[in-house]
Amino acid sequence: MTGLPLPPVPEPYYLPFHYGALHNIGVDFLVDPGPVRALLADRHPGLAAADFGGRACVSLNYQLYFAQYPTGGGITEEVEINVIAHPTSAADRLPAVDYGQYARGHDQTRLLGIARLHVLCDNPLAIDAGTRLYAEPKHPGWFTAVLPSLNAAAVHDRWSFVCHRAGLGPDGLRRYEEELFAVEADLAGLDGEPVVNTPVTGYGTDPDGRLLAGPLTVHQPYRFHPLDTRTAARIRLTLGRPRPGPGADPGAASGAGDHGREAAADLARLIGGAPAAGVWTYQSAPVAAHHRPYYVR
C-alpha cells in the first residue's frame, strides 16, 4: 500500500464529528499580503496565502453549535481567525478564481482552505479535541453574542459577538471581563444569495511540522453577502478594547489567557483598517416547534 498514513484519532474521540445544530457567521477582509505571508511562514510553513487580485484574505468565523453525545449534549461557542491559503506544493493545481468566485464555492479542488492562526473556544473538551485531532491552535475564550432567532418577538438579520479573554484551570474555563475584539453585522435588507461553499478544507500544522487537512461539510447552503465600498459599513470590527480597571480581572497579573491577547494583536496587525469584503451566514433549520397552548374548557 502506498501513500501517507492517516493521522491518528486519539481516545475518546470519534470521527466524523456530527453537529446537531450550527449557527455561523463569517466575515472576510481583503488585506495587505505582506504581514499575512510572514505569519503563515511562521505558523504554517507548508501553506501559501491565496492571491485575490494582489490581496490576501483574512476571515473571522464565529460558531455556535450543539452536539449530542451518548450521555447528553453540549453547546460550544468559538471564533476562528483564519487566512485563506493553499498547500505551497499544490500551487500549479489551483484554479484561477477571484474572491467572489472563491466565496461562492467555485474552487472545486478545495485546495483553497482556511489556515487557522487562532481559535478561541469556551468548551475545554472542544479545545482538546481540536488540538489533538486537527492540530488547531485552539485556546480558551468566551463570548457574548446576539444572533437572529425565531424565538424572539421579531426576527432581525443582525449579528454581533464579543470575544472575551479566558483561561483554563482545574475547575474548567475561567472567564475574565476583558474584551479582546468585537464584530457587529447589520445585514437587514442587504442582498444575499445561497452558496454551496463547503466542504471547507481546514489546515493545521502539528508539533512535528506536518501539514494536516480536515474537511468540514455543511449540509445546506450558506448565504453570502458580497460587500462594496457602500455596504462595507454594515460590518463593524472593534479591535483592542481597553482592559477593565484594577481588581476587575483577577487573571491580569497571572498571564492567564494570553493567547487571546495574542490573537487580538495579530488580528489588528493583519486587518488594520481594511473594510469587510463579504459576509456569509448559516443557521440550522428548526426541527420541531412547541406551540401556544389553548384552553380545553
- Tens of pLDDT, residue by residue over 243-272, are 544 344 555 444 456 899 999 999 999 998
Tell me the CATH number for domain 21-283.
2.40.400
Distances (CA, A) of 16 to 8, 25, 56, 75, 136: 13, 22, 31, 18, 16
pLDDT lower than 70: segments of the chain: 1, 240-257
**Which amino acid would we find at residue 273?**
G
Q: For the segment 157-184, what is each residue's pLDDT rounded down to a tens digit?
A: 999 999 999 999 999 999 999 999 999 9
Say how many C-beta atoms besides its own lie within 10 A of residue 182's C-beta. 18
SS3 content of the chain, % helix, strand, coil (to 5): 15, 40, 40
The predicted pLDDT at position 66 comes to: 97
Q: Spell out the domain ranges in the chain.
A: 21-283
The pLDDT value recorded for residue 247 is 40
Q: What is the pLDDT of residue 256?
A: 54
Nearest to 270 by CA among 29, 45, 27: 29
